[in-house]
Amino acid sequence: MSKQQTMLVSEEELLRQEEFSHRVKEILEMRYGDHMPVAHVHSYGCQQNVSDGEKIKGMLARMGYGFSESTADADLVIYNTCAVRENAEDRVFGNVGALKHNKQRRRGMVIGLCGCMMQQEHIVHRLQKSFPYVDLIFGTHVLHRLPELLYQTLSTRERVFETPDSDGVIAEHLPIQRDGSLKAWVPIMYGCNNFCTYCIVPYVRGRERSRTSREILAEVEQLVLDGYKEITLLGQNVNSYGKGLEEEINFSGLLRKINSLDGDFRIRFMTSHPKDATPELIDTIAECEKVCHHLHLPVQSGSDRILREMNRHYDTESYLELIRYARQRIPDISFTSDIIVGFPGETREDFLQTMDLIRQVRYDSLFTFIYSKRVGTKAASMDDPTPAEDKTKWLMELLEEQKRIGEQQLQRYVGDTMRVLADGPGKAGEGYLTGRTEQNLIVDFPASEELIGSFVEVTITKALNWALLGEINTSHR
């Protein structure tokens, strides 16, 4: 059996879960009669997690649950958690704490926790000890077994904990209840092998593994038939897509295949690790008309010394070289990035190099984070002498500078005509719609609501600090 096949959740197992799904449905019908039980599912963290949340909802819908945005009327609450930074974890603990009262008020209510936090032993211990009203805890590697685990919870009324450590599996053909009807998330790979020294993801998500191109293409094809206009391919490092598959394919090859599918839709992807972003990838973006001219390329730091300490496997020179090549091949390409401020041992000097780098690249926007110590990672045992106040001050400086750059960057689009996917009512005023350009920039423009869900050509008239304003270009209609 190939490695790929051993990672794949078997047909038998999926059928077994369907069987449990029926049993849960029977229990619910007995308990709730004609009144449909209500679930509240909330995903924290990255789009991978949001995508998992859509599968959780898909499975729950099959078991007979309806959904609510609020926890107040929920018979089942599932928090799909994120472990990437301490404040993400604190938020979960706070919200779980608040559920205690709901549970007292609502007999038979079930509280479930899953996702990345549940793959950490110290977190599970804490929940076990201090949160006795949490009924069900399951990890990232057993998501597809939700029907079985929920059945156990409902039928025994005992606490169920299922958080095995694993290299990870791939579960195809789970039901999915998507959050939107225009934009869809499509994971192309799971897990991560990079072990950046600050990051918990490889410990909680298992090893890197790719879905076959056949499965991905079938999913995208169906989404396009269903009217989806924007497909975002997901992975912690999409640039290493294809490793370990029997077929000979890399990420560029996958992009080309998806690009050649029929239909009017656009393709986005995230995240690209700079160490594996190649000129071939840039050429592919340039040549595939459906692939958006936007690259989210997390740099993390502008100091080569810190990048080495982070185990990132690139330096600022190679990073800037790639940016230069991309700008030469795709002049209207937009760059965004992630930056960590205050990595252990980062000095003012290192930080100033990050400031220098963002001035050179001129990102359209940045996601910035203060370093957060994660139990079990290599960086957790590194000396971290910089006081927290200094780190906060540096972050403010960075935000200030990026605000200035971002505003200038937006100005350069004034006068351009851009293709925008109209996706809802705009904030700029009465009668405005809002949408995103290929570069992922927000544009508000006056238009009738019938245009929601279609691509429109918009000429940019003004840059505000948060978005662009424009008018529909009638010559293109």
Alpha-carbon gap, residue 76 to 405, rounded angstroms: 45
Number of residues that bind ligand SF4 (CB under 6 A): 10
Give yes or no for residue 235 binding ligand F3S (CB under 6 A).
no
State the DSSP code for 300: B
Residue 466 binds which entry of ligand SF4, ligand SAH, ligand F3S, none, with Cβ cut-offs from 5 to 8 Å by kind? none
* Least Å from the CB of residue 12 to ligand SAH: 33
List the x/- string, 163-202, binding to ligand SAH by CB under 6 A.
-----------------------------------xx-x-
CB nearer to ligand F3S: give 183 or 205.
205
Residue 338 binds which entry of ligand SAH, ligand F3S, ligand SF4, none, with Cβ cut-offs from 5 to 8 Å by kind? ligand SAH
Give yes or no for residue 372 binding ligand SAH (CB under 6 A).
yes
Nearest to 71 by CA among 50, 101, 45: 101
**Single residue of 183, 205, 268, 391 touching ligand F3S by CB under 6 A:** 205
Alpha-carbon gap, residue 289 to 283, rounded angstroms: 11
The answer to whether 154 and 121 are in contact (CB under 8 A) is no
H helices present in 108-250, as ranges:
121-130, 146-156, 201-205, 213-225
83-122 positions binding ligand F3S, by CB under 6 A: 83-84, 116
**Single residue of 62, 85, 211, 436 touching ligand SAH by CB under 6 A:** 85
**Single residue of 51, 120, 153, 237 touching ligand SF4 by CB under 6 A:** 237
CB nearer to ligand SAH: give 57 or 268.
268
Alpha-carbon gap, residue 296 to 270, rounded angstroms: 7
Give, in order, the Cα–Cα distances in Å from 38 to each of 5, 66, 67, 416: 36, 5, 5, 47
Give yes or no for residue 199 binding ligand SF4 (CB under 6 A).
yes
Alpha-carbon gap, residue 141 to 221, rounded angstroms: 27
CB nearer to ligand F3S: give 37 or 53.
53
Residue 82 binds which entry of ligand SF4, ligand F3S, ligand SAH, none, with Cβ cut-offs from 5 to 8 Å by kind? ligand F3S
Residue 363 binds which entry of ligand SAH, ligand F3S, ligand SF4, none, with Cβ cut-offs from 5 to 8 Å by kind? none
**Single residue of 58, 175, 202, 263 touching ligand SF4 by CB under 6 A:** 202
Alpha-carbon gap, residue 469 to 477, rounded angstroms: 18
Alpha-carbon gap, residue 196 to 198, rounded angstroms: 6
Give yes or no for residue 169 binding ligand SF4 (CB under 6 A).
no
CB nearer to ligand SF4: give 302 or 435.
302
Alpha-carbon gap, residue 304 to 313, rounded angstroms: 10
CB nearer to ligand SAH: give 153 or 271.
271
Residues 6 or more apart in contact with residue 374 via CB below 8 angstroms: 83, 84, 85, 198, 199, 200, 380
Give yes or no for residue 78 binding ligand F3S (CB under 6 A).
no
272-291 positions binding ligand SF4, by CB under 6 A: 273
Q: Report DSSP letters for 342-393, one per residue.
A: --TT--HHHHHHHHHHHHHH--SEEEEEE----TTSGGGGS---S-HHHHHH
- Tokens representing 223 are 């989404």
Give yes or no for residue 46 binding ligand F3S (CB under 6 A).
yes
Give yes or no for residue 301 binding ligand SF4 (CB under 6 A).
no
288-307 positions binding ligand SAH, by CB under 6 A: 298, 300
Q: Is 420 helix (H, G, I), strand (E, B) or coil?
A: strand
Alpha-carbon gap, residue 359 to 328, rounded angstroms: 18
HSE of 367, CA atoms in CB hemisphere, 13 A: 9
Give yes or no for residue 189 binding ligand SF4 (CB under 6 A).
no
Strands 110-115 and 136-138: parallel
The answer to whether 329 and 289 are in contact (CB under 8 A) is no
Which helix (H) or strand (E) is 422 found in, with range? strand 417-425
* Least Å from the CB of residue 83 to ligand F3S: 4
Residue 118 binds which entry of ligand F3S, ligand SF4, ligand SAH, none, with Cβ cut-offs from 5 to 8 Å by kind? none
Longest CA pairwise span in the chain (Å): 66
Residue 394 binds which entry of ligand F3S, ligand SAH, ligand SF4, none, with Cβ cut-offs from 5 to 8 Å by kind? none
Give yes or no for residue 238 binding ligand F3S (CB under 6 A).
no
Stretch that binds ligand F3S, among 24-32, 78-86, 304-312, 466-474 (CB under 6 A): 78-86
State the DSSP code for 291: B
Residue 195 binds which entry of ligand F3S, ligand SF4, ligand SAH, none, with Cβ cut-offs from 5 to 8 Å by kind? ligand SF4
Number of residues that bind ligand F3S (CB under 6 A): 12
CA-based R_g, the chain, Å: 23
Q: Is 135 helix (H, G, I), strand (E, B) or coil?
A: coil
Give yes or no for residue 273 binding ligand SAH (CB under 6 A).
yes
Residues in the site for ligand F3S, rule: CB under 6 A?
A: 45-46, 48-49, 82-84, 116, 200-201, 204-205
Residues in the site for ligand SF4, rule: CB under 6 A?
A: 192, 194-196, 199, 201-202, 236-237, 273
